[in-house]
Structure 1
Amino acid sequence: MTQDLRLTVAAELERARARTTLLTDAVDDGDLVRQHSPLMSPLVWDLAHVGNQEELWLVRDVGGREPVRRDIDELYDAFKHPRPNRPALPLLDPAEARAYVGQVRDKALDVLDRVRLTDRKLVAGGFAFGMIVQHEQQHAETMLATHQLRAGAPVLQAPAPPPARVSASGEVLIPGGPFTMGTDTEPWALDNERPAHPVDVPAFFIDVAPVTNAEYAAFIADGGYDDPRWWSRRGWAHRQEAGLSAPMHWRRDGDGWAYTRFGRTERVVADEPVVHVCFFEAEAYASWAGRRLPTEAEWEKAARHDPATGRSRRYPWGDDAPGPEHANLGQRHLAPARVGAYPEGASPLGVHQLIGDVWEWTDSGFHGYPGFEVFPYAEYSQVFFGGDYKVLRGGSFGTDAAACRGTFRNWDHPIRRQIFSGFRCARDAGPLAATDGLEAV
């Protein structure tokens, strides 16, 4: 069993590094050191940062080895240097960064071969290694978002997402009652996903699929960006200050819309989930549609609760790891798939595409669950609790399966939309709907 775990960990480390290499080798050194947006780090900072985190945790802490480059720790501490300031730092150049991460990886793999994976909580089940895999994959998604903000000719290639295979519209009733939220059993789950705890969620309706480009375009056409009735006070103030008039990367194209993705401009696909909208935009759309955004607990119940057994699944489709038939994950494609493209990934009650395609905004702030315990460091989760953050769920086409599961929690400021963010709507269920056994409308 231990040898199988070592092989799994080594394969996941290699898979994450292959993606990092693809994203950094796709551009020249000038693009690697350039800051493509003040919202993002230079790609070369992300590259060395993933190596530095790997050194701190796997080489020094788990392995007890001598530092490779203690002198650069401060440069790659995300809390000490905000993103806009990072280009001015004396960062490793591309050749130095590549050499550094390679040296660290060699040492980390040697540690993996030698460490007992049962010695302490940090390494039990390969946790520390899984944490580093997830950290690198999360930065890979961040680097993919940087590529989306980059000007110039296309450098990334991927096949188009699959077409819709079934109709996925309307809404589904999620019956009221308790379910188990969070996890105690997922070996690589991060501290903010723990512990498992019961949550009683009243009955509610939730959209079968994320809100599409066509649906969002109707909101724009109806003057949604110009009518303060649909916006919260903070949302309207931000909409005015930022001059929002459409999702990020959209532009008028005759009587319709076009968007630019990874250097390619094309017409907006009507039945793809809308992407690159902030929380305030999602909130305004939901209000215009006579709906609301789901809470985080509602989203997780829709994604994990099996009404036939009462248990919470790892994923909407069951406990099996995501495959290409289940969800659009891992940069396999460079866009969301059309709604209805993944019927095998639907939940027992028929909610589609809860995993992959677009991160989904919820109407919940970020906080610890009852009984939360910091592990292994407060800066991953705890320092963000109670701040001006909204929780996003489900992952996007740029999220790797290693960093996405039914319990995984993402969070960001409500103004952010450079991330691959979309949403679906929900609404309260009346007393009749909550008890009459309705399943879909």
Structure 2
Amino acid sequence: MTQDLRLAVAAELERARARTALLTEAVDDSDLVRQHSPLMSPLVWDLAHVANQEELWLVRDVGGREPVRRDIDELYDAFKHPRGDRPALPLLGPAEARAYVDQVRDKALDVLDRVRLDGRPLVADGFAFGMIIQHEQQHDETMLATHQLRDGAPVLDAEPPPAARIPVTGEVLIPGGPFTMGTDTEAWALDNERPAHTVDVPAFHIDAAPVTNARYAEFIAAGGYDDARWWSARGWAHRQAAGLTAPMHWRRDGDGWAYTRFGRTERIVADEPVVHVCYFEAEAFAAWAGRRLPSEAEWEKAARFDPATGRSRRYPWGDDPPEPRHANLGQRHLSPAPAGAYPDGASPLGVHQLIGDVWEWTGSGFDGYPGFAVFPYAEYSQVFFGGDYKVLRGGSFGTDAAACRGTFRNWDHPVRRQIFSGFRCARDAGPGAA
């Protein structure tokens, strides 16, 4: 069993590294060191940062080996240097960064061959390796977002997502009652997903699919961006200060809208989930539509609760890992798929595309669950608790399956929209609902 786990971990490490290589080798060195947006790091910083985290946790901590490059630890400490300041740091150049990445990986694989994958919690079930795999895949999604922000000719290619297989409209009633939120059993779950706990959620309705481009365009056409009624006080202040008039990357195209996606501009696809909207935009749309954003607990119940058994699944479709027929994940495509493209991934109650396509804003702030315990370091989750963050759920087309499950929690500032963020709406159920 241990050998099977080692092989599985090695394969996941290689898969993550292949994606990192694709994202960093698709551009020349001048693009690699350039900051394409003050919101993002230069790609070369992300490249060396993933290796530095791998060195800190796998080579030094798990392996007990001598440091490879202790002198660069501070340069790649995300807490010491805001993204806007990173281009001015004496970062490793592209060739030196790639050599460092390779050197660290060789040592990490040697540690994997030798270390026991049981005993202390950090190594039990390969947790530290899983944490590093997820960390690299998270940075790969961040680098994909940087690619979306870069100017110039397209450098990334992928097959288009599948067409809709069934019509998905309207909303679904989620019955009231308790369910198990979070997890105690997912081996590579991060500390903010733990512990499992019971939450009693009143009955509510939730959209069967994420809000689409066509539906969002109706909000714009109705003057949604010009009517303060639909916006919270903070949201309206931000809309005015930032000059928001449409989702990020949209522009007028005759009588409709076009979207620039990874260097290619084309008409928006009506039935695709809207993407690159901030929390305040999602909140305003929901108010205009007579709805609200779901709470985090509501979202997770819609995604995991099986009314036939009363248990919480790992994913909407069951406990098996995602397959291409279930969800749009892993950068297989470079856009969300139309609503109705993944009927095999629907929840038992008929809620679609909860995993993949777009991160979904919820109405909840980010905090620890009852009984939360830091593991293995406070800077992953705890330092963000109670801050100006909103929780996003479900992953996007740029999220890898290794870093996405029914319990996975993402969070960001409510003004952020360079991320692959969308939403769906919810509303309270009326009297007498189940």
Matched residue, 1:88: 88
**Structure 2 CA distance, aligned partners of 1:55 and 1:113?**
16
Please name the residue that 2:101 is paired with.
Answer: 101
1:264 aligns with 2:264: yes
Residue 430 of structure 1 deviates from its aligned partner by 1.1
Output the CA distance in 2 between the equivalents of 1:144 and 1:345: 24
* Partner of residue 205, structure 2: 205
Q: Show the counterpart of 1:439.
A: none
Q: Secondary structure at the match of 1:431?
A: coil
> Shift of residue 207 of structure 1?
0.2
Per the TM alignment, residue 119 of structure 1 is displaced from its structure 2 partner at its CA by 2.7
User: Which residue number in structure 2 is paired with residue 279 of structure 1?
Assistant: 279
What is the CA–CA distance in structure 2 between the aligned matches of 1:299 and 1:102, rounded to whole Å?
A: 40
Displacement of 1:351: 0.2
Distance across 1 between alignment mates of 2:14 and 2:86: 27
Q: Which residue of 2 aligns with 1:295?
A: 295
Offset of 1:431 from its aligned partner? 1.4
Instruction: Return the letter of the residue paired with 1:244.
Output: L
Distance 2:244 2:17 in 1: 37
SS at match of 2:75: coil
Match of 2:126 in 1: 126
Q: Deviation digits for residues 359-381 of structure 1, max 9, x if unmatched?
A: 00000000000000000000000
Q: Give the distance between the partners of 1:122 and 1:168, measured in 2 at CA.
A: 43
How far apart, in 1, do the equivalents of 2:324 and 2:349 lie?
21
CA displacement at 1:395 relative to structure 2: 0.1
User: Which residue matches 2:414?
Assistant: 414
- The answer on 1:21 being equivalent to 2:21 is yes
Aligned residue number for residue 322 of structure 2 = 322
After TM superposition, list the pairs within 5 Å mapping 1:226-245 onto structure 2. Answer: 226-245=226-245
Task: State the match for 2:155 in structure 1.
Answer: 155
Letter in 1 for 2:406: G
Report the residue type matching 2:324 in the other structure. Answer: P
Give 1:168's aligned residue.
168
Secondary structure, aligned partner of 1:402: helix
1:171-194 deviation digits (Å, cap 9, x = unpaired):
000000000000000000000000
Q: What amino acid is the match of 1:396?
A: S
**Could you tell me which residue of structure 1 aligns to residue 251 of structure 2?**
251
Aligned to 1:371: 371
Aligned pair count reads 434
Partner of 1:67: 67
1:228: how far off?
Answer: 0.1
Alignment of 1:2 with 2:2, yes or no, is: yes
Q: Which residue of 2 aligns with 1:33?
A: 33
Q: 2:47: which partner in 1?
A: 47
Tell me the SS of whatever aligns to 1:122.
coil
Measure, in 2, the Cα distance between the counterparts of 1:44 and 1:203. 48
Q: Secondary structure at the match of 2:286?
A: helix
Query: The residue matched to 1:297 in structure 2 has which SS?
Result: helix
Amino acid at match of 1:154: P
Paired AA for residue 259 in structure 1: Y
CA distance in 2 between partners of 1:48 and 1:399 (Å): 20
Q: How big is the shift at 1:274?
A: 0.1
Separation (CA, whole Å) in 1 of partners of 2:305 and 2:202: 13
One-letter code aligned to 1:79: F
What amino acid does structure 1 have at the position aligned with 2:288?
W
In the TM superposition, what whole-angstrom CA distance separates every residue of 1:14-35 from its partner, at most 9, and x where no partner exists? 0000000000000000000000
2:58 aligned with 1:58:
yes
1:206 is paired with a residue of what secondary structure?
A: strand
User: What do the CA deviations read for 1:184-241 (whole angstroms, capped 9, x no partner)?
Assistant: 0000000000000000000000000000000000000000000000000000000000
Task: Give 1:438's aligned residue.
Answer: none
- The alignment partner of 2:66 has SS state of coil
Whole-Å Cα distance in 2 between the matches of residues 388 and 52 of structure 1? 28
1:180 aligns to 2:180 (yes or no): yes
> SS of 1:218's equivalent?
helix
RMSD over equivalenced CA pairs, Å: 0.3
2:78 is aligned to 78
SS in 2 for 1:205: strand
Quote the Cα distance in structure 1 between the aligned partners of 2:185 and 2:211: 32
Q: Structure 1 stretches of 5 or more lacking a match?
A: 436-441
Counterpart in the other structure of 2:404:
404
Give the Cα separation in 2 of the matches to 1:312 and 1:325: 21
Looking at structure 1, the residues matched to 397 and 168 of structure 2 have their Cα atoms a distance apart, in angstroms, of 18
Counterpart Cα distance in 2 of 1:431 and 1:188: 40
TM-score (norm 1): 0.98
Equivalents in 2 of 1:303, 1:82: separation in Å? 34
Matched residues in 2 for 1:423 and 1:217: separation?
14
Match of 2:136 in 1: 136
Instruction: Measure the CA separation in 2 of the matches of 1:243 and 1:157.
Output: 32
Alpha-carbon separation, structure 2, partners of 1:167 and 1:188:
35
Segments ≥4 residues shifted beyond 3 Å: none
Paired amino acid for 2:45: W
